[in-house]
Amino acid sequence: MRLVFVGPPGAGKGTQAKVITEKWKIPQISTGDMLREAKKNGKLAPELVEKMGKGGLVPDEVVIDLIKQRTELPDAANGFLLDGFPRTVPQAEALNDLLASRGQKLNVVVALDVAKELLMERACLRRTDKRTGQIYHLKYNPPPPEADLEHRADDQEETVRNRVDVYEKMTADLLPFYEKAGLLRRVDGVGDVKEVTARVLSAIEQSK
């Protein structure tokens, strides 16, 4: 199974991706996580660090290259879940070409829909455990006292607002692109995490 999760910042892509990938034993490949890891290790160019910090997208070729290398690893041989990639039509076309060159294709693209006013609260109150990568929310999913919490640099209100605007502009053509290809499944991302998981699984099931 090769699937893509698309959705605005705070839609719940990472939260749902963790559940699905654990269930199916496939890797979760998040370009956001890979870029943050590169930044932490001092391997991300300063201009890209600045771009991410302001909520803009990094250039297509940078993330395409990351995906190319990551999907070649043995753990991705039987499938993977791409979380936050592709975000633009050129990225989607590059992914198609990459998979075609390996005789593979995408099974489904799940778009998580969440109203704009909820996204701010979801992203601004998100906290992640540095050691485990577990995602929490100060209101909806409070962390245990022993968690070693991190507040993402781009989860400040103004930056989240910019990320949502960037998402709307940059992905405007992406959803129609996948709709035309017959791969798009839209899922309501509002509700209890388990409820949303059930909807995601049902959408994937229907696409088989």
Using rule CB under 6 A, residue 85 touches ligand AP5 = yes
> Residue 149's Cα: distance from chain center in Å?
20
Taking the least distance from each CB to ligand AP5, the nearer of 86 and 204 is 86
The contact mask relative to ligand AP5 for 97-116 (x = CB under 6 A, - = no) is --------------------
- Which one among 3, 26, 52, 106 touches ligand AP5, defined by CB under 6 A? 52
The one-letter code for the residue type at 1 is M
Using rule CB under 6 A, residue 171 touches ligand AP5 = no
At residue 137, the 3 state secondary structure works out as: strand
Q: How many CB atoms lie within 10 A of CB 60?
A: 16
Beta carbon of residue 208, minimum distance to ligand AP5 (angstroms, whole number) = 24
Q: For residues 109 and 6, what is the distance between their CA atoms, to the nearest angstrom?
A: 7
Round the CA-based radius of gyration of the chain to a whole number and report it.
16
Say whether 13 is catalytic: yes
Terminal Cα distance for the chain, rounded: 10
Using rule CB under 6 A, residue 7 touches ligand AP5 = yes
Q: Which of the following is catalytic: 51, 152, 161, 186?
A: 152
134-152: b or e for each residue (b if 16 or more CB lie within 10 Å)? bbbbeeeeebeeebeeeeb
> Which residues are catalytic, by number?
13, 87, 126, 152, 163
Residues contributing to the site for ligand AP5 (CB under 6 A): 7, 9-15, 30-32, 35, 52, 55-58, 63, 84-87, 91, 122-123, 126, 135-137, 140-141, 154, 163, 191, 193, 196
